[in-house]
Amino acid sequence: MSRYFVHPGGQLKGRFPVPGDKSISHRAIILGALAEGVTEIEGLLEGADVLATIAAFRAMGVGIEGPDNGHLRIQGVGLHGLRAPAAPLDCGNSGTAMRLLAGVLAGQAFPSTLIGDASLQRRPMGRVLNPLRAMGAEITAREGRAPLHIHGEPLHGINYALPVASAQVKSAVLLAGLYADGQTCVTEPAPTRDHSERMLQGFGYQVERQGPRACLRSGGQLRGQSLQVPGDISSAAFFLLGASIAPGSDLTLEGVGINPTRTGIIEILTRMGARIDLTALREVGGEPVADIRVRYAPLQGVVIPPRLVPLAIDEFPALFIAAACAKGQTVVTGAEELRVKESDRIAVMASGLRAMGITVEERADGAVIHGSPLLGGRINSHGDHRIAMAFAMAALVARSDIEILDCANVATSFPNFPVLAHQSGLLLAVVGA
C-alpha cells in the first residue's frame, strides 16, 4: 500500500500546468462516444477515474485510441450505436463515472451492470436512481448502492427538481434526457458545475438554460469535436494551499479552468487573506481559463458562506488545512455532502487534524477549525486522494514529519502529484507500490 513521507519545511516555487480537468475529461469521453464522427481530445486527464470511463465505452464497442500524452481519439458511434457490454462495467473509485454512465445506460436497449470499488459501493446512488426510475428506467440496487443493474426501457422526459445540489445527478438526468420522449428539465437548488450543459452545446446539442433550470429534448444529434481540456482547478487547489501557507512561496499554475461554478476555492482563500492573481484570461474548449499566480500570505480564519460550498465542493480537504494554518477559527456549515464523497471528508479531516494537534469541532454539516501550529504525525487518508494531497501540503508548515497512509488513489485524479509537488519544493517521498 503506498504511503507518503513528507519532511517539514520547504517552500513552493515554479511555473507549470496542472493536469486536465477530471469532470471535463469524463464528459468529453461520454459525449465523444455518443457523437457522430470523430472526437479528438487534447489535455485529457490520464487518471484512473477517467481510464475507467474509457474502458466502459470500449467495452460497449466504441473505438478509442489513446490516451497518449493527453491525446484521445474517439470514433463516435452516435446516440444509438452502443453495444451491450459482455461483463459488468467497472467504475473503480469514480462517482462521476458511475452516476453519468447510469444516465446514459438507462436509455439503452440492452441491460448492463455498473460496479465499483469498496468506497464507491458505500456511496449513495439513490439520488440518481430516483429520477431515472421516474423517467421509466428499471434499475435494481441493494439499499441504493452499487452494483447497479440497469435494464434499458423506453424513457419519458421529466421536470426534475434536484433535492441536493449535485452536478453528477443533474448530468445523469440530462444524459438520460437525450433518450427520453419529449423534454427533460432539471432545476438545481444552488449552482453546481455546468460542464455538461456547456459541452452538450459545444457538441451541437441544444440546451435551454434559464437561471437554475436546464432543459433539452431528445431527437437531436451530437457532432464529433476537437477539444482541449483545461487544467483542473481541483488539482491546482493543493498548490494554492501549499504556496499560501509556506513563507517564501511563489508559484504560477498555467492553463487552469476558472469556470465560475468551480472557483469557490479562490474566493474562500482570498477571503482568508491569500495572495492569488489571475492572468492571461482566455477561453479553452468552451471554458474560461487563466494562469494563476499564488504567493505566500498570512491567512485569517473565516466563516465560509454556505452558498460557496457547492462551488468548492472538492476543495474542503485543502480548505481544512488552510483553516488549521490560519489565525483564529474557520466555520464550515452547509457541507453535509462532504460526508458522502470518496470518504467521509468531515470525519477523516477532523481526525487527521486532531492527530496533528489541531482542535476541530465536528458538526453534522461541517466543522469549526481552530488555527494553531501543526505538529507532525501519522495520518490515515482512508484511500481518499484529496485527503492525502491536502495533508502532504500541511508538511510545509508542520513541526515534524508527516506520514500519510493509503495514498495509491491519488492516481485517480492526479497521477503526477508526487513528482510535481517534489519538483516545486515539497519534501515528499513515496514509499511502497
Q: Which residues bind ligand S3P (CB under 6 A)?
A: 23, 96, 166-168, 171, 192-193, 313-314, 337
Residue 164 CA to residue 306 CA, distance in Å, equals 13
Place of cell 441493494: 142
Whichever of 74 and 172 has its CB closer to ligand S3P, that residue is 172
Whichever of 200 and 358 has its CB closer to ligand S3P, that residue is 200
Residue 186 CA to residue 184 CA, distance in Å, equals 7
Q: Please name which of 284, 325, 84 lies closest in space to residue 202, comparing C-alpha atoms.
A: 284
Neighbours of 2 (CB within 10 A): 17
DSSP class of residue 137? -
DSSP labels, 337-357: GGGGSSS-HHHHHHHHHHHTT
Q: How far is the CB of 99 from ligand S3P (least distance, A)?
A: 7
Strand partners, 231: 20, 256
Whichever of 336 and 337 has its CB closer to ligand S3P, that residue is 337
Distances, alpha carbon 389 to alpha carbons 5, 76, 353, in Å: 12, 35, 14
Residue 93 CA to residue 312 CA, distance in Å, equals 20
- Catalytic status, residue 314: yes
Q: How far is the CB of 132 from ligand S3P (least distance, A)?
A: 15
Q: How far is the CB of 174 from ligand S3P (least distance, A)?
A: 11
Whichever of 192 and 235 has its CB closer to ligand S3P, that residue is 192
Those residues with Cβ within 8 angstroms of residue 394's Cβ, 6 or more apart along the chain or in another chain = 245, 321, 324, 325, 356, 374, 402
The grid coordinates of residue 99 equal 452516476
Decide: 189 and 212 in contact? Cβ < 8 Å. yes
Distances, alpha carbon 136 to alpha carbons 103, 144, 173, 267, in Å: 12, 17, 12, 41
The residue sitting closest to ligand S3P, measured at its beta carbon, is 23
Q: How far is the CB of 173 from ligand S3P (least distance, A)?
A: 12
Q: How far is the CB of 8 from ligand S3P (least distance, A)?
A: 30
Q: How far is the CB of 89 from ligand S3P (least distance, A)?
A: 17
Whichever of 219 and 260 has its CB closer to ligand S3P, that residue is 260
Whichever of 96 and 343 has its CB closer to ligand S3P, that residue is 96
Catalytic residue among 117, 194, 314, 384: 314
- Which of the residues are catalytic? 314
